[in-house]
A = this chain, B = another copy of it.
Amino acid sequence: MNKMTTRARPLRADAVRNREKILAAAATVFARRGLDATLDEVALEAGVGVGTVYRRFPDKDTLIGALFENAVDEIATIALSAYEAENSWDGLVWFLSEALQRQCVNRGLREIVIGAPYARERMESVKCRIAPAITQLIERAQRDGFLRDDVVSADFAILEMMISSLGCMTEEFSPDLWRRYLTIVLDGLVVKREHPTSLEQPLDESVAEEALRLKSRHVLRVH
């Protein structure tokens, strides 16, 4: 049972090329502008007409689903691999860094992860693999005496959302600034410590200025 079963004839060569161009363009556009970007923008970026986009993907949901299933799955895989680390705290930190890295670089992915109203059902199953993996990471780090005992997995979902929202805001002028706040939060999550963990990512004058100016352009919208 192959693709031929569902499609009498294969796509024409130019159609295949355009399909690739559309997917690539959509990846770029949704990463940069989030899931609110229009398919007109995707078409423009791909160098094709909107009609062509809608011929290949019946609606926005389908395109978004096709685009992000892998990326979400990758995060699940990272959560599972993190459990392999011999040090449970390092594993937890590694997972957070890797997951946040991907979300901060890609606004569309971030919105899918926090549950934006696109391709919901399609993502549901993939996301179901993530939650238990994180719970295990957390509980092991608590048993080992690294992570404070009074936090649960929902706390991590919330902290991740907070940090990734910041990451997406500051991505254009200081793409790693979010790491600074991840470090501070981690210093708040550890059971005890003698010194602050050094903040690798600096916040120099010009970046600070831009951060204060640019955050004003970002507003929370409720659907």
Task: Choose among B159, B162, B218 the residue that contacts A221 (Cβ–Cβ < 8 A).
Answer: B218
Q: Do the beta carbons of A194 and B192 come within 8 Å of each other?
A: yes
Query: A159–B193 Cα gap in the complex (Å)?
Result: 21
List the number of copies, as a whole number.
2
**Structural contact, A36 and B219, CB atoms closer than 8 A:** yes
- In the complex the two chains form, what is the Cα distance from A147 to B117 in whole Å? 40
Whether A154 lies near B217 (C-beta < 8 A) is no
Measured CA separation A162–B157 after assembly (Å): 14
Which of the segments A59-67, A70-78, A177-185 contacts the partner chain?
A: A177-185
Q: How large is the interface on A (under 10, 10 to 19, 20 to 34, 35 or more residues)?
A: 35 or more
**Is A24 at the interface (CB under 8 A from chain B)?**
no
Which 6 A-B pairs give the minimum distances between C-beta atoms?
A: A115-B216, A188-B188, A154-B208, A187-B188, A148-B196, A184-B188
Which A positions have Cβ atoms within 8 angstroms of B? 33-36, 107, 111, 114-117, 148-152, 154-155, 157-159, 161-163, 165-166, 168-169, 180-181, 183-189, 191-196, 198-199, 203, 208-209, 211-213, 215-223
